[in-house]
Amino acid sequence: MQIFRDIAGLKTFLNTWRKEGKSIGFVPTMGALHNGHLSLIEASKSKCDLTVCSIFINPTQFNDSKDFEKYPRTVDNDLILLQKYNCDVVFCPTDDIMYPEKTQLQIHFGYLEHIMEGKHRPGHFSGVGLIVAKLFHVVQPDLAFFGQKDLQQFMILDRLTKDLLFDIELVCCPIIREEDGLAMSSRNQRLSKIERLEAVALFQALQLAKEHLLNGKNITETKKIIYNFFEEKKSIHLEYFEIVDRNSLQSIEESIQKNQQLALCIAAYIGEIRLIDNIIINY
């Protein structure tokens, strides 16, 4: 496994492979790796000749400075895991490498940045788009792999890739869950034992909503059931629960079309830890 901390060395190495006609897969991460990230490494290795993983905690996508400060930093362990999963290349730049000057650029994504995650985390997606664009320019992968848990982020990056004419195929990989259904997340590491047990309520709520929708409940009735579900969970603060079209993320307020693919999306605080989740259903 090759580890690079500078852009020039990484580019030189990757160009050698590119000249040989080898395909390059890319998995951008912020570290604190878990099985969800590692499933992306496996997906990349199954489709590409060379897999690159980046580890960089991007400061511009945090709208809460305390969240940035407390984000898990486990680089040594991350490298051990990546070695175990036969990742070929790891890019671990510093802030000074990725942001040699204070950035002035803002990226706007239209309605996608004003709903759900964008609504509750102003500026977040501008920071995500900025760092991913930088990483795409550096790595120049053929395929890039992202997890479905960050579904709205995937849609944002799909828009970025198309609008900036990146010649990169984006792959959305399934959510990897714990045995009780909790979606794997780096932030799970910050949960106390009690909070960890409570956190499964997000997945339970999504399953409850799915059941009611498929049994004929309408959007309004289903949302009311979920809001009531969380009213009984005093230790959890529901930030949003939305039923949206899978392909556009546009909110569905009234009737659902036959054969429409839906995304049920949720965000909640368990103590001070914010978690998100979603499931996709065919109606």
Q: What is the pLDDT of residues 59-107, one digit of tens each?
A: 999 988 888 988 989 999 999 999 999 999 999 999 999 999 998 999 9
Q: Which class is 186-278 in CATH?
A: alpha beta
Q: Domain 2-173 adopts which CATH fold? A: Rossmann fold (3.40.50)
Cα(18)–Cα(137) distance, integer angstroms: 14
- Paired tokens of 142: 């053929």
For the chain, where do the domains classified as CATH 3.40.50.620 start and end? 2-173
Asked if residue 109 lies in contact with residue 156, where contact means CB atoms within 8 angstroms, the answer is: yes
Judge whether 37 counts as a catalytic residue: yes
The pLDDT, as a whole number, for residue 253 is 78
- How large is the greatest C-alpha to C-alpha distance in the chain, in angstroms? 59
Asked if residue 244 lies in contact with residue 250, where contact means CB atoms within 8 angstroms, the answer is: yes
Q: What is the pLDDT of residues 143-201, one digit of tens each?
A: 999 999 999 999 999 999 999 999 999 999 999 999 999 999 999 999 999 999 999 99
For the chain, where do the domains classified as CATH 3.30.1300.10 start and end? 186-278
pTM: 0.95
Of the residues 34, 37, 120, 124, only one is catalytic, namely: 37
